[in-house]
Amino acid sequence: MNDRRTASLPTSIDETLALLQGGGYVADRALATVLFLALRMKRPLLLEGEAGTGKTEIAKVLSAALGRKLIRLQCYEGLDLASAVYEWNYAGQMMAIRLAEAGGASGDRANLDRTRLEGDIFSEKYLIKRPLLQALEPQEGGAPILLIDELDRTDEAFEAFLLEILADSQVTIPELGTIRAAEPPIVILTSNRTREIHDALKRRCLYHWVGYPDAARELAILKARAPQAPAKLAKQV
């Protein structure tokens, strides 16, 4: 069952503001502008800022408001392709090989079967798709939101690898070839800036620094998130 409602992309900055507001997210105009442009230009959006300023939340709110699937890749030190993109199901492949061996073909037929077996075990049937590959597949309601969270926790090698996905919405799997998204996912990357993100990656994204909210906006956030709180208490907080 799918009760997700789908909405079309906003056509103006005001609409973007309203969309976020409707999802309980209080954005300033600068953030709404860069988000609107990212959606319009189909470019990834890199959000940097201090902890707790609403970087992750914006992807969640956008997913709910647009009725798109949210695919999240939480980054950490040592994150590799097997966890981020794809992995072969080795156990399944071994089983297929054993079964084929047990089938006991001989001579020319064995050669023929070997080629077929190779094609079979390196097919989608034995491919385990991780978030980045999932994000390239068509989803109900349109291209998904791909949240690549806390990018600064990964190493530079992983960043370099992301370039192909961000620039061309494609990944290359040596045994299968290049897999390209028919419709590019809406990509949001976040970073706490514990280290600098490489320029090559920044060039492929629109960028916005999410600062701490001022008192008025903090009060608005509190009102949106905890409407049951009495006005006096909210002000004091």
Ligand X SMILES: Nc1ncnc2c1ncn2[C@@H]1O[C@H](COP(=O)(O)OP(=O)(O)OP(=O)(O)O)[C@@H](O)[C@H]1O
From candidates 53, 63, 154, 169, binder to ligand X by CB under 6 A: 53
CA angle, 105 as apex, 102 and 108 as ends, to 5°? 155
CA atoms lying within 13 Å on the CB side of residue 188: 27
From candidates 57, 80, 137, 168, binder to ligand X by CB under 6 A: 57
Q: Are 148 and 188 in contact (CB under 8 A)?
A: yes
Residue 74 touching Mg ion (CB under 5 A): no
Residue 52 touching ligand X (CB under 6 A): yes
Name the segment binding ligand X (CB under 6 A); options: 54-62, 93-101, 106-114, 181-189.
Answer: 54-62
Q: Are 75 and 151 in contact (CB under 8 A)?
A: yes
Residue 56 touching Mg ion (CB under 5 A): yes
Residue 126 touching ligand X (CB under 6 A): no
Beta-bridge mates of residue 45: 188, 206
From candidates 10, 17, 19, 26, binder to ligand X by CB under 6 A: 26
In 10 A of CB 228, how many CB atoms? 4
| Residue of this chain nearest to Mg ion (CB atom) | 56
174-213 binders of ligand X (CB under 6 A): 190, 192
Which of 142, 183, 140, 197 minimizes the C-alpha distance to 8?
142
209-228 binders of ligand X (CB under 6 A): 221, 224-225
Q: How far is the CB of 87 from ligand X (least distance, A)?
A: 26
In 10 A of CB 170, how many CB atoms? 13
Residue 54 touching ligand X (CB under 6 A): yes
Q: Compute φ and ψ for 228, nearest 5 degrees.
A: -80, -15
Q: What is the spatial distance between Cα 57 and Cα 71, in angstroms, rounded to a whole number?
A: 13
Name the segment binding Mg ion (CB under 5 A); options: 22-30, 55-63, 115-123, 129-137.
Answer: 55-63
> 């906003």: which residue's tokens?
10
Residues that bind ligand X (CB under 6 A): 24-27, 49, 51-57, 190, 192, 221, 224-225
Residues that bind Mg ion (CB under 5 A): 56
